[in-house]
Structure 1
Amino acid sequence: MPKQNPQNPQQLVLASASPRRLDLLGQIHIIPDQILPADSDETPHHQERPNDYALRMACEKALLVANRLAGARTGAFILAGDTVVAAGRRILPKAETEQQARDCLSILSGRRHRVYGGIALCSPGGSLGHRLVTSHVRFRRLSALDIDHYIDRGDWHGKAGGYAIQGLAARFVRAIDGSYSNIVGFSLYDVAAMLDAAGWRGTDQLPSQTLPSA
């Protein structure tokens, strides 16, 4: 792996307005130089599978921002992500109303669901890398009082599946199989691996480490 050169940092653009993704990146010393939301159409295609939808949205967001910056910035990496909560083949919405949140929580109550995290990275040369990360979450059965209390707190607003696992909803979670950070907004392991593989080096990045051969 090439060594970090603090005198020649490479630009990183985060194609997301999510404060959760920004906070997650900060945990592993990845600091975007610019935040530029893609503002893409997030309508699922007819009969689109949740995993395909998550990956498609991440790629579209990265490409939209990369195209917007063409001619205005060179040498920038564009990082995008999308989080989808799925109950079977059903894509649950990013709850914008109390009723949507109630419907989501009622569906998730007492059952296991999947959280798909699509990650896409556009490199300065124009190549597009992507990954799909899957986490499994099991909720305990929720009472009407549980749901009322959660709705009153407002943690659900704008959240995929109507909940934020890093908040009050953590008390609903019986088990997790897979990446916790993926459920919050980004699988940090996969983001770091993709940036390392693409050759991105930032001023505040921890040095890359090469694992010994088997």
Structure 2
Amino acid sequence: MIENINKNKDIILASGSPRRQELLRQLGLSFSVQQKKIDESFPDNLTPAEIAEYVAQKKAMAFPAPKKNQIIITADTIVALNEHILGKPTNKKDAFEMLNALSGKSHHVITGVCLRNEHTCHLFHGNTKVTFEKLTNELIEQYIEQEQPYDKAGAYGIQEWFGMVAVKHIEGSYYNVMGLPVHLLYRKLLEII
């Protein structure tokens, strides 16, 4: 089935995320990477899932209309703790506060995806519930110093050693927490090729 997608479509991944690129490579998709800087702000009245889809679509619309055989893939991952959105930390203090807030609690990681072809934008999202162990200040500080998690929503990467020791339980897609609900993406691509 991946062969059909690769044969029939020119896939553009509009993301600088090395994790998203790796997931598409592991899926076997052929794609090129293009990026555009956008303002990632969103209206205040949106739910976390609506925010993730809104920003993903905003990223896709920053590109010219795709040609007949092109599909632009954009995504946006957010972390929601009791409906409060945790974006990417701006500094060490911000990262510490985020991880301390997540310690011993459950949160939701939502990745909105937009597949834009010549006709329309196909929007969907993955939602994974993640529960953290109670974390010590020392562990949080060590992670921030070693990994510099400033490009990650919620200030952590589940695929890093921190995820191995901090994550107690997940409900939903692990890959969604990495930044792409691959099972949903695959299904949607098959629908639109």
What is the TM-score when the length of structure 1 is the normalising length?
0.83
CA contact (8 A) 1:155 1:168 kept: no
Deviations 1:25-63 (A, max 9, x none): 11110121x211232211232243222110101111112
Q: For 2:100 and 2:114, how far apart are their aligned partners in 1? A: 31
Query: Counterpart of 1:26?
Result: 25
Cα deviation for residue 9 of structure 1 reads: 4.0
Q: Let me know the Cα RMSD of the aligned residues.
A: 1.9
- 5 Å matches for 1:1-214? 4=4, 9-32=8-31, 34-65=32-63, 67=64, 73-124=67-118, 126-170=119-163, 171-199=165-193
Cα deviation for residue 4 of structure 1 reads: 3.0
Query: Counterpart of 1:208?
Result: none
More helix per residue = 2
CA contact (8 A) 1:155 1:163 kept: no
Q: For 2:159 and 2:42, how far apart are their aligned partners in 1? A: 26
User: Letter of the aligned partner of 1:49 in structure 2?
Assistant: T
CA contact (8 A) 2:14 2:74 kept: yes
Q: Gaps (5+ residues) in structure 2?
A: none
Larger relative contact order, structure 1 or 2 (CA cutoff 8 Å, min sep 6): 1
Of structures 1 and 2, the larger Rg is shown by 1
What is the TM-score when the length of structure 2 is the normalising length?
0.92
Q: Gaps (5+ residues) in structure 1?
A: 200-214
Q: Percent identity?
A: 29
Cα deviation for residue 96 of structure 1 reads: 2.8
Moved over 4 A (4+): none
User: Letter of the aligned partner of 2:15 in structure 1?
Assistant: S
